[in-house]
Structure 1
Amino acid sequence: MKKLLFVVIALCLSGMAGQAFAYPDTWTQFDPNDLDAARDQTMGNTQQMLEERGSVECIACHGETNDQYDGVMNTLEISEATMSAALSCMNWELRGICVWMTCLVPPVCSFSTSLKVKNHVPDLVIQSYDRANGEPWTESQDINQVSQGDADSSWVTTIISWIEDYNVDDVGIRGGVSTEAKKDQHANLYFKLVDAYGNPSLIAYNALAQTTFGLVCAGQTFPFFPYFISNLDSIAWRWDVPEMFYPQSWLPLINTWDLGSVTNNYGAIYPRHGFMTAQDPLKAGVLSAFRAAHFITRSGEPHLYYTIDKADQDGYWPSDPLDKDREDTGIWQMLYPRTDSSCQRFPYGGNPSSNRRSTDGSYIWNFWKSYKCCTRQGQQLIFHTG
């Protein structure tokens, strides 16, 4: 009886926190000694149940091994769009001075100064999309395959089989949107895949920074490096474990943990997983990308990722982790479906233009993060302003 009670409570918590799926009305009785079969039946029949309820677009779609999808944007196009927006998005500022000390024979020391500046750097390319093997950035498909992050990789199929313990081939890698006519059953439910890579433009951007005599701060991410691939993060991104138990996940309508305002709400930041309920597909894409960037810019989060959170160094100060209310912690440049020449904080205004809404569910953004820096002019930094 205790085992049954624990399972029922766990299932209720999972359904409420993740909002990933609701159980059918026919589940009024089941054999407590055969929970595996009951679970497999529910999980395995998700697509069928959704189709019976109304209009469903690929909530259980799966990219095939011979998928020939070429994406919507290649590396050259991303680099060109990034560099064309550099002057606008870097938000360059002169912040103060740094005072350096060099001691050859203490206490005989010399002092020198350098300018302290602040600017944003295009650290990451973040893409949000519906279907496995449907990465909108063309070359990222190869990165995912090498990283074992593609839909058909042994890692992804093994981890899902290990957790759910049923035939992955029958169920597929879920993704897409469900818009049933019947209330309270997956209405406007989205599941987004999100990947974040080091921006390929950093090669040119950092080279430019080195030629400015310390007047532009360079970035610290590595071009093309996969900092986050949601398929590799299956446990946290698909089942929101353990974030479903976070206090932030149980505080609905609390603006502190929501992206946006009461009149322009994009949804809850926690739990930071791939499921969300939204009436606007753009909001679903924005929220999924923001959730990923939220933990990528932090250390020690319960996800499988590489952080871009770096410690301060003498003469180099990265910004704090992403905060929805602070522009210096991160701004966004849309690359697809519309290519912007400027950046802004998420969320968009109450009525964003229609050309920001993708017809294929795919979105690509540059994530620009701010840094402060000054050129090293001595052995030790003893004072700085700004």
Structure 2
Amino acid sequence: MKSFSFRPRRLAIATLLVCSGTIASVNTANLLASAASTDCISWRVSGICYWLLCTPFGCTVKTSVKVTHFIPEAVVSAYLNPGDNPWTEMATVSDAASGAEGSLLESVTGVSTGGGRQEMKALGERKQNLHFYYGDAWGHPATKVIGGMVPGYSCDSAATPFMPYFNSSLDALVWRTGVPETLYPEALIPGQREIGETTSGNMWGNVYPRSGFVTQTDSYKSAAVVVQRVADVITRSGQLHVYNPLTGQKSPGYWPPEPVKENTGTKNHKWQRLSPQLSQTCAVFPDTNGQIAQDGNYAWALWQPYSCCKRRGQTFLSSTDFS
């Protein structure tokens, strides 16, 4: 994999652009700089771990500090047209995959592919928008910088930088039809797996079926629903999609995050807005500070929490969590 190096002047300019929050697209330098967000990392001492250390002279119990913090794992994008991925280095790759998707589906179905939005009127009054988004998830370039940065006081990430975890063009049949997930209980029963709540008047959309189509009047909200669907897929194993799972394996003294789940606060994930306006803070959907992209293309960084402690013996005994 190609390595990236940055001259100090170029990195300073990239950092200035990141802090101003005015860029409409992002590149790898921006992503590396934006990961230095204390609000998103949320590092804290969360408990104590107990280890059994045995030597020829006997066994003793050793302790180590348990820490918890978030790590940027993936850059998840929702965009309207092939090649419009806001992460500039990945736009060409996404465009090539979209071209392959179009050729395959047109040869099979005789129908050309594309994205975009369509305006409709219900009962001559309320206008609704039907959106179709392409969706990508690539390993965040800073995931190994934040993860495992200080041994014993930061946790290793399960993500790999630049790894393609999801590309909707390679998952075209399910992403465009919603089959078989349109028949799942989560898609058929109101109130299940929805972002926001209807009762509070802040319902953004349903997670299932996890496809590229969303009916929503707000462009920001519709894109947020799509990236939530992508994160829902990649943080689970055995889903009926074409993807690479982004999951960690629990081991003694190491606790990777649970799969992404909406409406749980920051318990198992956060989103850092990258495009159209980069944010230095993280939030979960539904949030209140979204900005509409004029070109309809969006990107967020997915952050997830890890807990770990330094090994002090051969056997892990237990851990105590601080309230």
The two structures share one fold, judged by TM-score above 0.5: yes
Q: Say if 2:193 and 2:262, in contact at 8 Å, map to a contact too.
A: no
Give distance in 1, aligned partners of 2:123 and 2:142: 46
Deviations 1:160-181 (A, max 9, x none): 246x421x5xx2x220100145
Following superposition, the deviation at residue 141 of structure 1 comes to 2.5
Following superposition, the deviation at residue 346 of structure 1 comes to 1.2
Following superposition, the deviation at residue 158 of structure 1 comes to 5.1
1:1-386 alignment runs, 5 A limit: 72-83=25-36, 85=37, 87-104=38-55, 108-144=58-94, 150-153=97-100, 156-157=101-102, 159-161=104-106, 164-166=108-110, 168=111, 171=112, 173-181=113-121, 187-206=128-147, 209-210=148-149, 212-252=150-190, 254=191, 256-262=192-198, 263-326=201-264, 327-349=266-288, 352=289, 356-386=291-321
Give distance in 2, aligned partners of 1:309 and 1:120: 15
Deviations 1:85-120 (A, max 9, x none): 2x1111122111111113345x93233111001111
| Partner SS state of residue 123, structure 1 | strand
| Partner SS state of residue 267, structure 2 | helix
| Partner SS state of residue 63, structure 2 | strand
Give distance in 1, aligned partners of 2:183 and 2:120: 28
Q: Flag structure 1 segments of 5+ consecutive residues without an equivalent.
A: 1-70
Give distance in 2, aligned partners of 1:181 and 1:100: 64
Give distance in 2, aligned partners of 1:376 and 1:183: 64
Instruction: Look up the equivalent residue of 2:167 and give its one-letter code.
Output: I
Q: Say if 1:159 and 1:234, in contact at 8 Å, map to a contact too.
A: no
Q: Flag structure 2 segments of 5+ consecutive residues without an equivalent.
A: 1-23
Give distance in 2, aligned partners of 1:342 and 1:333: 6
Give distance in 2, aligned partners of 1:183 and 1:239: 26
Give distance in 2, aligned partners of 1:82 and 1:242: 37
Instruction: Look up the equivalent residue of 1:201 and give its one-letter code.
Output: A
Q: Say if 1:121 and 1:368, in contact at 8 Å, map to a contact too.
A: yes
Q: Say if 1:93 and 1:118, in contact at 8 Å, map to a contact too.
A: yes
Give distance in 2, aligned partners of 1:313 and 1:192: 37
Give distance in 2, aligned partners of 1:113 and 1:325: 35
Give distance in 2, aligned partners of 1:294 and 1:143: 23
Q: Say if 2:270 and 2:304, in contact at 8 Å, map to a contact too.
A: yes
Q: Say if 2:195 and 2:263, in contact at 8 Å, map to a contact too.
A: no
Q: Say if 1:141 and 1:150, in contact at 8 Å, map to a contact too.
A: no
Give distance in 2, aligned partners of 1:130 and 1:333: 20
Instruction: Look up the equivalent residue of 2:45 and give its one-letter code.
Output: L
Q: Which runs of 4+ in 1 moved over 3 A?
A: 142-145, 180-184
Greater strand proportion: 2
User: 1:93–1:274: structure 2 CA closer, same or farther, 3 Å change rule?
Assistant: same
| Partner SS state of residue 98, structure 2 | coil
Give distance in 1, aligned partners of 2:92 and 2:312: 42
Greater helix proportion: 1
Give distance in 2, aligned partners of 1:276 and 1:157: 20
**Bigger radius of gyration among the two:** 1
Percent identity for Structure 1 against Structure 2: 32
